[in-house]
A and B are shown apart, each in its own frame.
Chain A
Amino acid sequence: MAEHVPVVEVNDVSKRFIIRKEKSLKERLVNAGRSKQFKEDFWALKNVSLEIGSGQTIGLIGPNGSGKSTLLKTIGGIIQPTSGTIRRRGRLAALLELGAGFHQDLTGRENVYLNASILGLSRKQTDLYFDDIVEFSGIKDFIDTQVKFYSSGMYVRLAFAVAVHVDPDLLLVDEVLAVGDEAFQRKCLDKIRSFQREGRTIVLVTHSLGQITEFCDRAVLLNKGEVLFDGVPHEAVRDFRDVLEERRQDEAEAHNATHEEQVPVNNGRIVSTTVHAAGRAEGDPVHPGDDLIVRVTYEHPTGLPDWIAAIQIDNVQGVPVYGTASPRMKLDLGVLREPTTVEFVLHDVQFGTGKYFINSTLMNRERAHVHDVPQAVSFDVPYYDLAVGIVHSTPEIRVVGA
């Protein structure tokens, strides 16, 4: 079984950052005696263990600050873990947080040679690949310009082009693709596909969960420096959404606690929003073909004539996928005073796999927003293995003639 030879072993790795509050000699001397209070310990990674086999494509996901970049850097050997060990084998190419190691004062061409040399290529070998690299990057006209004059997209283009042309066994990619334009992203993803066919190992950090489920055969979910989940990508993505939802609710609560007085009590508000599929309990997954029932309760102590009830459904990337409001149905709601519940029934919904959020809005007759509750509730649509996307449809594929 030579199919999956281990190429990276992360063994019980923890990383502590010491955040110092001052940096100059004077401050250090002045504070020498009580330096303790000017330091802050922070564990960016806690007892992380991973084994990565050759040919795997691993997605690393987690909320901001969860330690993804830190983990990638320790694998790349750029920072040292505080405890634990990491070993790896084979040629490594890394694209860490916005680009490879480029030298600002050098031209693109010189940087290509510099990087290739760091990665262990001789000048001759680099000559051989040079034209391919430039062509792939698509910045031929700028190759003899200093990279400090590059746009961030151009920078990443060149960095990615170098990294994929030096024949790496292991490629580490940290969120760099997002900077490229759509055409280039496509090109990169195609390259990643061909890397997969060639049996190279890829570790990918991205906030695009679609890429994780589409490209990876394994996903690792990090939260606060710990591995929460390690396994099938779509399960990791689901768990990740739960983590995000928890965090969002915590933040919303904290926000409410401090901003209570700003809730427009006198001017009417949305009291509650709930969602469920007909025939299912609240919180259960919503299946394609279900009738979705959204109930929103509104009130307005001083009275709001000709008021408008509206909802909008967003997917997890915040893209609106559905929206409707009472005027569209020529519905006259009269005057809002006492708590009033409106039921929106969305028949036969066909959402694709994923989590969806419902934003709830109360408007006056001029359509000014009286009260908004973004992401008031959410629902999940279970994993569907025959198709991806935000729309559900049962596929059928057949050959119709030669």
Chain B
Amino acid sequence: MTGLQESPLQRANRLSTEPWQQAGGRSSGVTGTVASVREIWEQRRLLRLLTGRELKSRYKDSAGGFLWSLAKPLTQLFIYYLVIGQFLGAARGIENFAIYIFAGLTIYTLFSEIVGAGTGSIIANAGLVKKVYLPREIFPLAAVGSALFNFAVQFVILIIASIVVGTLSFGPQLLFGLGALVLILIWGTAVGVLLAALNVYLRDIQYLVEVVLLLLMWASPILYSWQQAAAILPQWLLEIYVNSPITLAVLGFQEAFWSEASNGVPLPHLAIRMLIAGVVGLVALFAAQRVFSRLQGDFAQEL
């Protein structure tokens, strides 16, 4: 680091050899994305800081700390298990129903948290956005980071529970779990980044997203089996339903942590479908970043 003892002349000489930077400007297309990724990479420490802050502020001043992050999913699990599984009888057709729900819920919660927190992230960090230049993708990415942390906690519980119940076995099916995670990360980030930018201009999106996320939970086989949906949905809708990245990720998680010991009926060609959804997701992520990059120039003045 150039110290404070640098003389004016030394400073001037050093500056004259430094490259020019475009103030805040970024190029378009693939080179723009590459430049953005590099910028974000250079600020990875900041990303960590912001993620930590995000987590901290969520449970700030609470005695239970991050244990609260478990309260919601466990309560959900309990209610769904009791009401849908026992009262409504869904558990009759699905073995180890609690694990079944929890597998789906865990991966879905990840998506919902990435998108939910990501959407509001630019506005929540208005103080920073208005005062300093940063690659602003950092904010939705920090939302991804903190969602991942909560996911990890739930995931550990899922693993423990499935060992106890006996649905976990070591084998290649575990790869579906990894695939599902990657799939959700790609799509969640793409949607989160896009909505974060749009939300600056249209604040209603934040509220809309909450509602849609609630809906999406029922639009994937978390609380019922996909065959039940297949029985009533018209063909074209079924195609959309089973190929949605959320459905695929939920099925992937169930495949990995529940199916083996529970006589689950796998969706045909699950692996290849996930692969395609992943590739499409990457394209979506690229497009989302482009839109974000286009819009971010005016963030500071819109907030």
Contacts and interface: CB of A to CB of B under 8 A. Distances in A.
Interface of A: 2-5, 7, 9, 17, 23-26, 28, 54-55, 73-80, 85-90, 92, 94, 96, 99-106, 110, 113-115, 117-118, 122-123, 125, 167, 169, 197-200
Contacts of B202: 23-25, 28
B230 to A, nearest CB: 35
A183 B1 CA distance: 31
A200 B1 contact: no
Interface string B46-81: 100110010011001000000000000000000000
Contacts of B18: 89-90
B23 A77 contact: yes
Nearest to B8: A199
A167 B130 CA distance: 22
A9 B20 CA distance: 9
A79 B56 CA distance: 30
A79 B298 contact: yes
B203 interface: yes
Given A117-B49, A118-B134, A74 B9 contact: no
Given A25-B204, A103-B127, A117 B45 contact: yes
B41 to A, nearest CB: 13
B19 interface: yes
A85 B25 CA distance: 9
B122 to A, nearest CB: 13
Given A5-B12, A105-B57, A199-B8, A78 B24 contact: yes
27 contacts: A3-B8, A9-B20, A28-B202, A55-B12, A74-B23, A76-B23, A77-B25, A78-B130, A78-B133, A79-B300, A80-B24, A85-B22, A87-B21, A88-B20, A88-B21, A100-B132, A101-B130, A101-B132, A103-B53, A103-B125, A105-B56, A105-B60, A113-B49, A117-B49, A118-B46, A123-B45, A169-B15
Interface residues of B, number: 48
B109 to A, nearest CB: 23
B136 to A, nearest CB: 10
Given A101-B128, A113-B49, A80 B25 contact: yes
A88 B11 CA distance: 15
Given A54-B12, A54-B15, A125-B1, A80 B21 contact: no
A103 to B, nearest CB: 6
A2 B15 CA distance: 9
Contact of A198 (B4, B130, B204): B4
A23 B16 contact: no
A57 B10 CA distance: 18
Interface string B104-137: 0000000000000000000001011111111000
A189 B9 CA distance: 23
A64 to B, nearest CB: 18
B131 A88 contact: no
Contacts of B208: 25
Contacts of B127: 101-104
Nearest to A201: B15
Nearest to B10: A199
Given A76-B23, A92-B133, A102-B128, 12 more contacts: A2-B12, A2-B13, A2-B16, A5-B15, A78-B132, A79-B300, A88-B20, A89-B18, A89-B21, A94-B132, A117-B49, A198-B8
